[in-house]
Amino acid sequence: MNPRGPYRGRFAPSPTGPLHAGSLVAALASWLDARAHRGTWVVRIEDVDTPRCVPGADRLILEQLATCGLVSDEAVLHQSQRGAHYQAALDALAEHGDVYPCACSRKDIEAALLARGITRERHHSAVYPGTCRPEHGGLQGKPARAWRFEVGHVGRLHWFDRRLGAQQQNVATEVGDFVLKRADGLWAYQLAVVVDDAAQGITHVVRGEDLADNTARQILLQRALGLPTPLYLHTPLVLGNNGEKLSKQNGAQALDLGEPLAALERAARALGLPPATRGATVAQALAHWTAAWDA
Ligand code: GLU
């Protein structure tokens, strides 16, 4: 028995477009892992970043999943409906002094980094220099734009991935104090995902390897909020013809689900699973891969 309780997994797509071959790999892997553990699998629509969301993409994704035989065991949650929960988490963090308001624009951050001799090349994923930290004087009369999590001096954070093995990141030096509520008032992915994984009792997170880099930040947030840390498994990425990761951003084709089995076969192959038997139905293929899944 898992010490975290009965297995609960999720697939959490952002509705920025239809599913593509890459996202189907994560969807299939999370579904198979849940089934192989005789667990529950839920779909959560991560529509917090409203400017990037495409109207109707959530419905389309759910239809595409259903065509592939992947149907949420419970009602589908939309993050756009959960602002009050994210606010409550931010309030709790504020009460413990784990967050602070920040007045910096991107330009301010670049200027502050430049003043320290950190040039663009070296800070391509700009580590926030901590200008608005309370210990540095806070907002100093400037209007608050965003809320940041104060990483503090955690040093290296170690975590384990079921596929990638031992992982580590120094969040303070590699990421810095990260944003939980954006200057445009939108909730950041890091906070929403941590709050919802806990609210939904998720014990196992299975998602694409491109998200692995967020895990240390999410574990820090879980600890600060007194929430459990799920087990993590990051799935291999599907590469496009140019060798780059396939994503909605670089124009990955929406899945043609006239032939769901062919799409599932490709996803299964990416996961190192054996081919389905000839003439199998979608349900038979899924059962075959569940049996082959090494949970
Ligand atoms: N919504 C995120 C995405 O589509 C996935 C979040 C997660 O699985 O943690 O990239």
pLDDT tens digit sequence for 252-284: 677 878 889 999 999 999 999 999 999 999 999
Boundaries of domain holding 122: 84-181
Q: What is the pLDDT at residue 108?
A: 87
Q: On the CB side of 21, how many CA atoms lie within 13 Å of its CA?
A: 24
List the one residue out of 151, 154, 142, 48 whose CA is nearest residue 101: 142
Residue 44 Cα to ligand 1 middle (Å)? 9
Residue 146 Cα to ligand 1 middle (Å)? 22
Report the alpha-carbon distance of residue 49 to residue 292 in Å, rounded: 36
110 shares its domain with 164: yes
How many domains would you assign to the chain?
Answer: 2
Ligand 1 — pocket residues by CB below 6 A? Answer: 12-14, 46, 193, 207, 211
Residue 46 Cα to ligand 1 middle (Å)? 7
111 shares its domain with 143: yes
Please indicate, yes or no, if residue 1 is contained in any of the structural domains: no
The DSSP 8-state label assigned to residue 229 in this structure reads P
Q: What is the pLDDT at residue 3?
A: 58
What own/partner pairs with CB < 8 Å and gap ≥ 24 does 267-270 have? 267/21, 267/24, 267/25, 267/27, 267/28, 268/28, 270/25, 270/235, 270/236, 270/238
Report the alpha-carbon distance of residue 225 to residue 195 in Å, rounded: 9
Nearest atom in ligand 1 to 46's CA: 1
163 shares its domain with 212: no
Please indicate, yes or no, if residue 235 is contained in any of the structural domains: yes
Residue 13 Cα to ligand 1 middle (Å)? 5
Q: What is the pLDDT at residue 282?
A: 97
Coil, strand or helix at 240 = coil
Q: What is the pLDDT at residue 1?
A: 43
Q: What is the pLDDT at residue 169?
A: 97
The letter for the amino acid at 168 is: Q
pTM of the entire structure?
0.93
Residue 43 Cα to ligand 1 middle (Å)? 11
Task: List pLDDT tens digits, range 58-112.
Answer: 999 999 999 999 999 999 999 999 999 999 999 999 999 999 999 998 888 888 8
68 shares its domain with 208: yes
Pocket test for ligand 1, best of 25, 53, 193 (most atoms within 8 A of CB): 193
Residue ranges for the chain with pLDDT beneath 70: 1-4, 120-124, 241-242, 245-252
Cα separations (Å) of 44 from 93, 187, 200, 238, 262?
A: 24, 16, 10, 22, 25
Please indicate, yes or no, if residue 194 is contained in any of the structural domains: no
